């Protein structure tokens, strides 16, 4: 374990680590573009300059291994000067069209310029023009003029997704990023290139121009897209959710996440949500408050014979919610007919080798654990025969939150709606449900960003997540619904929509404001 | 409130003060009656005062040579606006040289404090505060000005041209 001194601090690092890793470890800030902890070292941006005692020239930190007794600093005037002129070279052909650049506000060039630059450019030459708005594939747009040729994106497709679509073409100041002849940047992880691009060269088609980043708040949560359970950050403001990005989590997803998981913000937004409980009888619908609807059901459910009462669960809810609803059924209603709705059965065990799993539920393990705990063994076959024989008369269904990953949804709705009384709890709208003509009650539920809870991922790792915000304040969580249905009184505090939970104590609140969140909490670089 | 009662002898001479004041009033009245041209007041609204062109009145969105909006929908004005009365919706333009443009640009003029910060923030001279200041309205007037009103209202005669031209900038290699 070599020891070295970094900016005057004695540090012990793992043998073979580079100076930039030691700096990361010490949380020292260092300018860099091409180095990424999840990728190989390229050493092309020449921005991570450090001064090593006894070495006449400044060196790059990302490709210099720490040796015993090394004395390193990146705060001296020499280093600052080197970074400054390095930055000037990066900006020689840069268009500086920050006003229309989606990266503005979280751009590496802007950040480093504020930290090290602040010079007047001394280039009198014309800028090299390159391609703008290049369509790289179904998800990503490239602006080659803004690219600083750090090659992170190329290394990502070579080393992580292993799809080898991107490459550097031409030479010198005409070098451009591009896709290999006849190929598109089209893989399941393509949007990671947008995250790691330190500038606005790669932008996501989904997010492009929809918001300026300084209007967005963010909060960490767990991706409900599949049973891997990547750590993510959701970005939102009072107009809704806008994007999802990965957060480093060593034991689950590393630095990355898949493109599918990035779409999990969509079903949270109000336009896709069920806002009120709906009671339907032979095609006539009336709207009621969700809490009232659940309360009303308590009488009906308690009066139902335990043998004719069933519960269908999807693996999309938190452990706490399962505990509440299953114990209500087993203890209060004395029904053991709890069925597990398995979506995409064929691909359940599949795994693409990186992150994506065929089990598109965040909490299958958690649900199985609860079913096990209560000794529930009913199968889907039992449910089918129960419906056919007419034994099952009342069915409570906790439907899918992310309807896109339930290819059998329509089929299942048809199947389950054969019971005389159907109670369907779900966050999102569904046309087929609203077209049912039987005795149906639809109760809106909250989504994963609107509640605290635990997901158990495929490894059996319990991951807790916290409430991020509230989108539909009236909607119930599954445990609230369970409590109400079992006849307990609960206090539902209808939180104001879009009030963030990570608010600063001295923060001034103005409801209509679209605050400049980025500047607000950025602090230092 | 404490009132200081000043009962000194001096106070008895108030009448002189009043007469002096009336005198000044009379002088101005007579001056205005016999020398109308130099009168300071205007017969508003028949007569209107011409402010300098630098007056910060109602906003104007400038246009490019082809008549399209200069605004790039960067939202810097909306970010800078202390009254937060600017609302912009950006969209992708079919021309890659334009790339981003506003499909809607609205200013809630009743909330605007005419500070001119939007004008200061704009990197491309797309918004200016014009010299226009009389914009009353009766009930039901729409005080949320949209692109039509801001850029193409009749008295702008087809739009005010911007100083910042992308074509020229590109040609000179900036
Ligand atoms: S990449 Fe950064 S510096 Fe370049 S135009 Fe975009 S925001 Fe501005
Ligand atoms: S597109 Fe972005 S990530 Fe790729 S080389 Fe250019 S700057 Fe780096
Ligand atoms: S003048 Fe001031 S208050 Fe009015 S729109 Fe511009 S920035 Fe906002
Ligand atoms: S008016 Fe200017 S500052 Fe405002 S969005 Fe348009 S270009 Fe940006
Ligand atoms: S980070 Fe070291 S050279 Fe780019």
Nearest chain B residue to A215 by CA: give it.
B79
Q: Where are the domains of chain A?
A: 3-91, 123-209, 276-492
Query: A313-368, pLDDT tens digit by residue?
Result: 999 999 999 999 999 999 989 888 999 998 888 888 889 889 999 999 999 999 99
Half-sphere exposure of B136 (CA within 13 A, CB side): 2
pLDDT confidence of residue A524: 36
Query: Taking 70 as the threshold, does the pLDDT of residue B136 lie above it?
Result: yes
* CA–CA dist A371, A343 (Å, integer): 17
User: Is the separation of the CB atoms in A167 and A138 below 8 Å?
Assistant: no
Query: Taking 90 as the threshold, does the pLDDT of residue A155 lie above it?
Result: yes
* CA–CA dist A17, A37 (Å, integer): 11
CATH number at residue B105: 3.30.70.3270
* CA–CA dist A238, A140 (Å, integer): 26
Query: A109-123, pLDDT tens digit by residue?
Result: 998 888 887 777 777
User: Is the separation of the CB atoms in A334 and A420 below 8 Å?
Assistant: no
The residues near A208 (Cβ < 8 Å, ≥ 6 apart) are A102, A141, B92
**Paired sense of beta strands A338-340 and A70-73, if any:** unpaired
Instruction: Supply the ipTM of this predicted assembly.
Output: 0.81
What is the architecture, at CATH level 2, of domain A123-209?
2-Layer Sandwich (3.30)
Nearest chain B residue to A95 by CA: give it.
B174
Q: Which residues of A touch B84 (CB under 8 A)?
A: 512-514
pLDDT confidence of residue A499: 44
Beta carbons within 10 angstroms of residue B56's beta carbon: 15
Token match 């299958």: residue? A364
In which band, very low, low, confident or very high, does the pLDDT at A500 lie, cut at 50, 70 and 90? very low
Is residue B99 in a domain? yes
What length is written for chain B?
A: 174
Is residue B82 in a domain? yes
CA distance B103 to chain A (A): 11
Token match 């500047």: residue? A519
Fold classification of A3-91 (topology level): Ubiquitin-like (UB roll) (3.10.20)
SS3 per-residue string spanning B56-82: CCCEEECECCCCCECCCCCCHHHHHCC
pLDDT confidence of residue A492: 67
Q: What's the CA-to-centroid distance between A31 and ligand 5, angstroms?
A: 8
The residues near A264 (Cβ < 8 Å, ≥ 6 apart) are A223, A224, A225, A244, A402
Is residue B50 in a domain? no
Query: Rounded to the nearest 5°, which phi and psi values hold at A10?
Result: -75, 125
In which band, very low, low, confident or very high, does the pLDDT at A31 lie, cut at 50, 70 and 90? very high
Fold classification of A276-492 (topology level): Rossmann fold (3.40.50)
* Mean pLDDT on A291-311: 88
* Mean pLDDT on A373-399: 90
Counted domains in chain B: 1
Domain carrying residue B145: 59-172
Please tell me if the domain spanning A123-209 has the same topology as the one spanning A276-492.
no
Q: Is the minimum distance from the CB of A107 to ligand 1 under 6 angstroms?
A: yes
User: Is the separation of the CB atoms in A173 and A93 below 8 Å?
Assistant: yes
**Strand ranges across the sheet with A421-426:** A284-288, A277-281, A439-444, A421-426, A394-398, A309-313, A338-340
What pTM did the predictor assign?
0.87
Q: Which residues of B touch A125 (CB under 8 A)?
A: 173
Nearest CA to ligand 1 atom 8: A98
Q: How far is CA A313 from CA A285, A289, A339, A377, in A?
A: 25, 23, 6, 13
Residue A220: strand pairing partners: A233
CA distance B138 to chain A (A): 26
Residue A136: Cβ-neighbour burial (10 angstroms; 0-12, 13-18, 19+): buried
pLDDT confidence of residue B167: 78
């Amino acid at each position: 374990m070599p020891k070295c001194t970094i900016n005057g601090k004695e540090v012990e690092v793992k043998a073979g680590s580079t100076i930039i890793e030691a700096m990361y470890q010490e949380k020292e800030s260092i300018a860099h573009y091409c180095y990424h902890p999840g990728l190989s070292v390229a050493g092309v941006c020449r921005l991570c300059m450090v001064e090593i005692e006894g070495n006449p020239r400044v060196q790059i930190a990302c490709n210099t291994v720490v040796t015993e007794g090394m004395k390193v600093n990146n705060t001296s005037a020499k280093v600052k000067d080197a970074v400054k002129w390095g930055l000037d070279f990066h900006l020689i052909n840069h268009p500086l069209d920050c006003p229309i650049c989606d990266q503005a506000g979280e751009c590496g060039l802007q950040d480093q310029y504020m930290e090290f630059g602040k010079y007047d450019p001394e280039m009198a030459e014309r800028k090299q023009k390159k391609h703008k708005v290049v369509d790289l594939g179904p998800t990503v747009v490239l602006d080659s003029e803004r690219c600083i040729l750090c090659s992170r994106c190329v290394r990502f497709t070579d080393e992580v997704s292993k799809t080898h679509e991107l490459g550097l073409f031409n030479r010198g100041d005409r070098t451009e990023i591009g896709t290999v002849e006849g190929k598109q940047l089209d893989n399941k992880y393509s949007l990671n290139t947008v995250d790691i691009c330190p500038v606005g060269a790669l932008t996501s088609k989904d997010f492009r121009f929809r918001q300026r980043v300084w209007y967005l708040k963010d909060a960490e949560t767990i991706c409900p897209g599949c049973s891997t359970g990547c750590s993510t950050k959701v970005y939102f403001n009072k107009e809704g959710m806008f994007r999802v990005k990965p957060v480093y989590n060593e034991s689950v997803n590393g630095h990355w996440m898949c493109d599918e998981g990035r779409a999990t913000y969509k079903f949270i937004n109000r336009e896709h949500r069920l806002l009120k409980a709906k009671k339907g009888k032979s095609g006539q619908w009336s709207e009621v408050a969700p809490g009232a609807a659940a309360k009303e059901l308590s009488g009906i459910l308690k009066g139902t014979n335990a043998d004719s009462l069933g519960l269908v669960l999807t693996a999309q809810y938190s452990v706490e919610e399962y505990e509440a609803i299953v114990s209500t059924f087993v203890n209060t209603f004395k029904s053991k007919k709890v069925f597990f709705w398995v979506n995409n059965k064929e691909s359940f065990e599949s795994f693409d080798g990186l992150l994506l799993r065929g089990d598109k539920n965040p909490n299958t393990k958690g649900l199985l654990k609860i079913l096990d705990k209560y000794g529930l063994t009913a199968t889907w076959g039992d449910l089918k025969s129960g419906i056919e024989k007419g034994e099952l008369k009342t069915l409570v269904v906790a439907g899918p939150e992310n309807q896109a990953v339930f290819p059998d949804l329509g089929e299942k709705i048809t199947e389950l709606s054969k019971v005389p009384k159907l109670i369907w709890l779900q966050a999102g709208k569904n046309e087929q449900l609203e077209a049912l003509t039987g005795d149906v009650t639809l109760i809106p539920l909250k989504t994963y960003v609107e509640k605290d809870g635990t997901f158990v991922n495929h490894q059996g790792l319990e991951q807790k997540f916290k409430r991020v915000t509230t989108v539909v304040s009236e909607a119930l969580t599954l445990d609230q619904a369970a409590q109400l249905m079992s006849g307990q009184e609960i206090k539902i505090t209808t939180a104001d929509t879009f009030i963030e939970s990570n608010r600063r104590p001295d923060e001034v609140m103005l409801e209509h404001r679209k605050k400049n969140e980025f500047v607000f909490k950025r602090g230092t670089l | 409130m404490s009132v200081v009662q000043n009962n000194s002898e001096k106070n008895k001479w108030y009448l002189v003060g009043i007469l002096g004041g009336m005198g000044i009033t009379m002088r101005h009245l007579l001056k205005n009656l016999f020398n109308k041209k130099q009168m300071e007041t205007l017969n508003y609204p028949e007569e209107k005062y011409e402010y300098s062109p630098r007056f910060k009145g109602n906003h104007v969105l400038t246009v490019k040579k082809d008549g399209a909006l200069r605004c790039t929908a960067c939202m810097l004005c909306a970010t800078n606006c202390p009254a937060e009365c600017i609302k912009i919706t950006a969209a992708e333009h079919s021309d890659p040289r334009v790339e981003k443009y506003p499909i809607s640009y609205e200013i809630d003029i009743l909330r605007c404090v005419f500070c001119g910060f939007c004008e200061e923030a704009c990197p491309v001279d797309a918004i200016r505060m014009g010299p226009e200041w009389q914009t009353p309205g009766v009930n039901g007037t729409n005080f949320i000005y949209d692109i039509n009103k801001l850029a193409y209202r009749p008295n702008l005669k087809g739009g005010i041209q911007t100083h910042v031209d992308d074509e020229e900038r590109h040609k000179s290699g900036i």
